[in-house]
A and B are shown apart, each in its own frame.
Chain A
């Protein structure tokens, strides 16, 4: 039975269908349906991968190993929650008159396309196709960022698309370099551009060429993944996009770029293994990961805008995931994968809550919305508070465990300095986020500043779905999921 093809085709056909459907409700329902289907398919894929190792379709054009399956699950969950939230969100926006039906349709067409692009990134075997898919996700999301057509959102979209495209041009150059290395080792034929093939001939590739290629790819996909100092588009795009899109950008899109980078990281490591430069790509990842982690807290502390602060928190988490992978011990890689999952369940809740706040106060500036948001939006604030506790890494939430795994893995691998740096950065952002959020969420409202329309408890289904599964998976990880992550960690660690 075909598994991978429907994962791509379902959201794609929903996107096309949404071009024709007249009603907003139907479009929202179709979105939910599409991603619920892919989630189901993703779970089936999980079992298939565990049973068969690698699932291939269309003569290896599509292929899914444990890492891909894990990413498919993340994309599906976040997109599903987004679709759930988006229906009511845009209903309110239209009622407030800030958006037209045409733009709403744009959202419901582009979001499944965005999802399709991300699915193609993780399922494509051919590295060139993977590049094209990453570019596709960038292009479909840029119009989503510009959805409100306000000055700031256009500015954010412009920065996003220009920086992203420049980065991706570099990534393409790196991809071409990798292919050229394959051509050089087999001069007479047109070699396959498949990742699986390149892995099988990794030892014969020219190390110098692969190193140069990795530098290009790193800067390229690293820009898309938002590593500092290429992160400048990230807070702009996250803060100006509609909240459902922010959730998808932060929840999965960044991780998809990281996934693309990881494929090259694995390949480069396999090629350089045992040579004088073994761990070249790992060092790059480590350096930029730590830099992102250290940079983020200071920006969190000075932020005056809720969603920008959340964006910097994403930068922090991406840095941590990257560092965990770079430490390259089975435990830290496992921790990083776990962190990806928990972060994908946490961050959208925060953005959804920020969306509710935005719609109530028509602003995201701290001085406008705070203090005492809790008096106006009690349900939202409770959920947001829980998610924030999770995001800063407090038990019993999963991010606490994954952070602990990474740090203890680092200590076990005798990376004392790195572990200490991680701990310091995490503590700093912990203080930053909690301090900022308590200031606006708690306390009494300023006199005379009480929005009349205060019965908003919208978006609760999406948020409780995510928070509930976060809590569930924090205390209990199903055995197949655990096994999948172990296999994925083994792929990244280079021990298939």
Chain B
């Protein structure tokens, strides 16, 4: 038995962290407490940041470190803080019963993962670290869409959007060799932050106007 090299360990750790991201996503789908959901999102982002850091360490790519740090600051610290504050301000702590119950949503998500796997098969290779996590990235995207449909509280939908975003960022790590050019990463980071702030403003205003943030009540406009 030979002692494992850093690269070998990394090639185990990255899929593991990616899979854990998916597991966290499943927990998000099963969980209805908003504060727990926010914490789960933070954990998922932490894993994403970790993956970026491992890739950066292995390829010694400095700007991927920047991505890891930005993800950490933005999605692990700042956004959860912002959303927590929002939850306390609007005083709604729990989502209503989702459209589908937990076991059947889980099965649907497993099926979506399978779909992600079959779509990304031709683009998956082992040439580079993390390339094989593309299927997980697509699964995060699809399950994020499912989460969006399955929930009715505006804030959960914001979280769903953010997990979709996490999926896309994981795809960026999975697909490219050294991540994307820094200016693009910065642009995306900035956009996500602003997007959550704008969504937060809207959630607050919806809560004020409807005495609820149930998006099921947003059904006046038709045709």
- Closest partner residue, chain A, to B161 (CB atom): A165
- Secondary structure class of chain A's binding surface, majority of residues: helix
Which chain B residues in 140-177 approach chain A with CB under 8 Å?
141, 145, 148, 154, 157, 161, 164-165, 167-168, 171-172, 175-177
B154 / chain A contacts, CB cutoff of 8 Å: 158
Which chain B residues in 188-213 approach chain A with CB under 8 Å?
188, 190-191, 194-195, 198-199, 201-202, 205-206, 209-210
**When the two chains form their complex, are residues B183 and A128 in contact, meaning their CB atoms are under 8 A apart?**
yes
Assembly CA distance A68 to B209 (angstroms): 41
* Minimum Cβ distance to chain B for residue A400 (Å): 29
Q: Which of B35-43, B103-111, B214-222 contacts A (4 or more CB under 8 A)?
A: B214-222
**When the two chains form their complex, are residues A154 and B206 in contact, meaning their CB atoms are under 8 A apart?**
yes
Contact flag A128-B195 (CB < 8 Å), given A166-B161, A172-B168, A303-B223: no
Task: Tell me if B122 is interfacial: C-beta within 8 Å of chain A.
Answer: yes
**When the two chains form their complex, are residues B180 and A157 in contact, meaning their CB atoms are under 8 A apart?**
no
**When the two chains form their complex, are residues B172 and A176 in contact, meaning their CB atoms are under 8 A apart?**
yes
Task: Tell me if A302 is interfacial: C-beta within 8 Å of chain B.
Answer: yes
* Minimum Cβ distance to chain A for residue B5 (Å): 21
Task: Tell me if B123 is interfacial: C-beta within 8 Å of chain A.
Answer: yes
**When the two chains form their complex, are residues B176 and A193 in contact, meaning their CB atoms are under 8 A apart?**
no
Within 8 Å by CB of A161, from B122, B168, B180, B202, lies B202
**When the two chains form their complex, are residues A193 and B180 in contact, meaning their CB atoms are under 8 A apart?**
yes
- Closest partner residue, chain A, to B177 (CB atom): A183
Within 8 Å by CB of A128, from B119, B164, B180, B198, lies B180
Within 8 Å by CB of A157, from B148, B194, B202, B223, lies B202
What 0/1 readout, one digit per residue, does chain A (135-158) give for beta carbons within 8 Å of chain B?
Answer: 110010011001001111011111
B219 / chain A contacts, CB cutoff of 8 Å: 155
- Closest partner residue, chain A, to B164 (CB atom): A169
Q: Which of A232-240, A374-382, A418-426, A436-444 contacts B (4 or more CB under 8 A)?
A: A232-240
Which chain A residues in 304-342 approach chain B with CB under 8 Å?
308
Task: Tell me if A132 is interfacial: C-beta within 8 Å of chain B.
Answer: yes
A190 / chain B contacts, CB cutoff of 8 Å: 177-178, 181
A193 / chain B contacts, CB cutoff of 8 Å: 180-181, 184
A interface, size bucket: 35 or more
- Closest partner residue, chain A, to B198 (CB atom): A139
**When the two chains form their complex, are residues B145 and A183 in contact, meaning their CB atoms are under 8 A apart?**
no
Task: Tell me if B4 is interfacial: C-beta within 8 Å of chain A.
Answer: no
**When the two chains form their complex, are residues B184 and A159 in contact, meaning their CB atoms are under 8 A apart?**
no
Within 8 Å by CB of B188, from A128, A179, A235, A239, lies A128
Assembly CA distance A193 to B172 (angstroms): 13
What 0/1 readout, one digit per residue, does chain B (15-56) give for beta carbons within 8 Å of chain A?
Answer: 000000000000000000000000000000000000000000
* Minimum Cβ distance to chain B for residue A149 (Å): 6
Contact flag A126-B199 (CB < 8 Å), given A173-B171, A240-B221, A308-B223: no
* Minimum Cβ distance to chain A for residue B111 (Å): 20
B221 / chain A contacts, CB cutoff of 8 Å: 152, 155-156, 159, 235-236, 239-240
A209 / chain B contacts, CB cutoff of 8 Å: 123
Count CB-based A-B contacts (< 8 Å).
Answer: 128
B123 / chain A contacts, CB cutoff of 8 Å: 180, 209, 212
**When the two chains form their complex, are residues A126 and B220 in contact, meaning their CB atoms are under 8 A apart?**
no
What 0/1 readout, one digit per residue, does chain B (131-142) give for beta carbons within 8 Å of chain A?
Answer: 000000000010
* Minimum Cβ distance to chain B for residue A105 (Å): 15
B205 / chain A contacts, CB cutoff of 8 Å: 146, 149, 154
B3 / chain A contacts, CB cutoff of 8 Å: none
B141 / chain A contacts, CB cutoff of 8 Å: 169-170, 173
Within 8 Å by CB of A139, from B157, B165, B195, lies B195
Assembly CA distance A158 to B210 (angstroms): 13
What 0/1 readout, one digit per residue, does chain A (158-178) give for beta carbons within 8 Å of chain B?
Answer: 110110011001101100110
- Chain B CB count within 10 A is highest, among A131, A155, A165, A193, for A165
Task: Tell me if A187 is interfacial: C-beta within 8 Å of chain B.
Answer: yes
**When the two chains form their complex, are residues A139 and B191 in contact, meaning their CB atoms are under 8 A apart?**
yes
What 0/1 readout, one digit per residue, does chain B (101-128) give for beta carbons within 8 Å of chain A?
Answer: 0000000000000000001001100000
**When the two chains form their complex, are residues A129 and B202 in contact, meaning their CB atoms are under 8 A apart?**
no
A183 / chain B contacts, CB cutoff of 8 Å: 175-178
Assembly CA distance A150 to B205 (angstroms): 9
Assembly CA distance A467 to B17 (angstroms): 59
**When the two chains form their complex, are residues B168 and A152 in contact, meaning their CB atoms are under 8 A apart?**
no
Within 8 Å by CB of B161, from A61, A162, A177, lies A162
On B, residues with C-beta under 8 Å from A are 119, 122-123, 141, 145, 148, 154, 157, 161, 164-165, 167-168, 171-172, 175-178, 180-181, 183-184, 187-188, 190-191, 194-195, 198-199, 201-202, 205-206, 209-210, 215, 218-221, 223
On A, residues with C-beta under 8 Å from B are 61, 126, 128-129, 131-133, 135-136, 139, 142-143, 146, 149-152, 154-159, 161-162, 165-166, 169-170, 172-173, 176-177, 179-180, 183, 187, 190, 192-193, 208-209, 212, 235-236, 239-240, 299, 302-303, 308
In the complex, besides A169-B164, A176-B175, 9 extra interface pairs with C-beta distance below 8 angstroms are A128-B180, A128-B187, A131-B187, A132-B184, A149-B205, A156-B221, A162-B148, A176-B172, A176-B176
9 residue pairs, one from A and one from B, having the closest CB atoms: A128-B184, A132-B187, A180-B175, A155-B218, A236-B221, A135-B191, A169-B164, A176-B172, A183-B176
